[in-house]
Amino acid sequence: MNTRISFTRPILHLFFPYTCCGCGTDLITEPVLFCIYCQASMPFTRFEYFPANPIEKIFWGRTEIQAAAAHVYFTSGSLVQHSLHLLKYKGRKDIGIYFGQQMGASLKQSGRFNDCSVIIPLPLFAAREKKRGYNQATLLAEGLSRQLKIPVVHDAVSRVKKTETQTHKSRIQRWKNMESTFEIRDPQKIQGNHILLVDDVVTTGASLEACARALLTFPGLRISIACLAHTVSA
* Amino acid letter, residue 191: Q
Find out whether 229 and 74 touch, Cβ atoms under 8 Å. yes
Count of CA atoms in the C-beta half-sphere (13 A) of 51 = 4
CA–CA dist 128, 72 (Å, integer): 25
Find out whether 57 and 102 touch, Cβ atoms under 8 Å. no
What fold, for 43-231?
A: Rossmann fold (3.40.50)
What pLDDT is attached to residue 27? 80
CA–CA dist 35, 115 (Å, integer): 34
Q: How many CB atoms lie within 10 A of CB 128?
A: 13
pLDDT surpassing 70 at residue 14? no
Count of CA atoms in the C-beta half-sphere (13 A) of 14 = 4
Once rounded to an integer, what is the mean pLDDT over residues 4-33? 66
Find out whether 196 and 226 touch, Cβ atoms under 8 Å. yes
What pLDDT is attached to residue 128? 86
Once rounded to an integer, what is the mean pLDDT over residues 160-186? 65
Q: Please state the domain extents for the chain.
A: 1-41, 43-231
pLDDT surpassing 70 at residue 13? no
pLDDT surpassing 60 at residue 164? no
Once rounded to an integer, what is the mean pLDDT over residues 164-182? 59
Phi/psi class of residue 187: alpha, beta or left (left: φ > 0; alpha: ψ in -120 to 50)? Answer: alpha
What pLDDT is attached to residue 3? 41
**DSSP conformation letters of 39-88:** HHH--B--GGG-TT-HHHHHTTTTS--S-EEEEEEE-TTSHHHHHHHHHH
| 154 three-class SS | coil
pLDDT surpassing 50 at residue 5? no
Once rounded to an integer, what is the mean pLDDT over residues 47-70? 97
**Segment holding 230, helix H or strand E:** strand 222-231
What pLDDT is attached to residue 169? 53
Alpha helices in 111-205 (DSSP H): 126-132, 136-148, 171-177
What pLDDT is attached to residue 125? 87
Once rounded to an integer, what is the mean pLDDT over residues 50-58? 98
Closest CA to 196 of 94, 109, 115, 93: 115
Q: How many CB atoms lie within 10 A of CB 215?
A: 22
Find out whether 228 and 71 touch, Cβ atoms under 8 Å. yes
Global confidence as pTM:
0.86
CA–CA dist 6, 21 (Å, integer): 24
Taking only the tens place, the pLDDT of each residue in 109-133 is 999 999 999 999 999 988 888 899 9
